[in-house]
Chain A
């Protein structure tokens, strides 16, 4: 398998899990990031809390990279137009479907929500299909 990193993936996942638990245990809300992002920008309800969470999402990695001197790879080879279309679909789709990888994929599945399980299967399926189609045009190979 190409570039398979189970140990760091599992470690990162466990840390993410603790973050979700901490957020829920203290604020009573689920750490679904598409919802936090959308609400922070469009709703006054819990706005400061949402903005602080988003701020943490950015300064956490900045602090971690600064303290550990790790460099992380960030490779996007797409054109700007594709990035704009993708961002738009992610914003529209997550709000219409009520969640993303964190809200449905982590929080929802942990709560054994049928809606979230179906949503997760759906977006992984269309994501895989999209990558497959792009590969037929020579991308991502």
Chain B
């Protein structure tokens, strides 16, 4: 029960942060990716602000085995670079650059009741399924 409440609360705070940061507007993201024309560096400040908070906490919490709710700590174990990482990230970047939406803002944009984001999310789900068959 408390896991659901904390998940919900984390999502709410994350979503509010996204709106305040401006990143729910695809135009802001395209502005960042548009390095040669009217570049808007705001996205760096969003990532920088977040990392400024998360980095020290991850460092302090790195030796814990259990979370506050006594759940197992679950961190990625892969260390090596592989083709999938590079190809996958490249494809993600292309999709990101085409419209200016990545998964977080795409989900949060449902709050704006724009049908376009629903279409994007359905396509994103199909992409997730496609990966299972590759």
- Beyond A13-B17, A15-B16, A74-B26, whether A87 also contacts B95 by CB under 8 A is yes
Binary flags per residue of A106-122, CB closer than 8 Å to B gives 1, else 0: 11111111110011101
- A55 touching B11, Cβ below 8 Å: yes
- B33 touching A130, Cβ below 8 Å: yes
- B90 touching A122, Cβ below 8 Å: yes
Q: Which residues of B contact A38 (CB under 8 A)?
A: 128
User: Secondary structure of the B side of the interface?
Assistant: helix
Number of interface residues of A (CB under 8 A): 111
Q: Name the residue among B18, B109, B129 with the largest chain A CB count within 10 angstroms.
A: B18
Question: Which of chain B's residues 78-125 have a Cβ closer than 8 Å to chain A?
Answer: 78-81, 84-104, 106-112, 114, 116, 119-125
Q: Which residues of B contact A107 (CB under 8 A)?
A: 54, 58
5 contacts between A and B (CB under 8 A): A49-B4, A60-B15, A74-B109, A96-B84, A127-B33
Beyond known contacts A15-B13, A33-B102, A97-B88: 16 more, CB 8 A cutoff: A1-B38, A2-B38, A2-B40, A12-B49, A17-B17, A21-B53, A23-B10, A56-B8, A64-B16, A87-B101, A88-B124, A97-B92, A109-B51, A110-B50, A126-B91, A131-B35
Interface residues of B (CB under 8 A from A): 2-28, 30-31, 33-55, 57-58, 61-62, 66-69, 71-76, 78-81, 84-104, 106-112, 114, 116, 119-132, 134
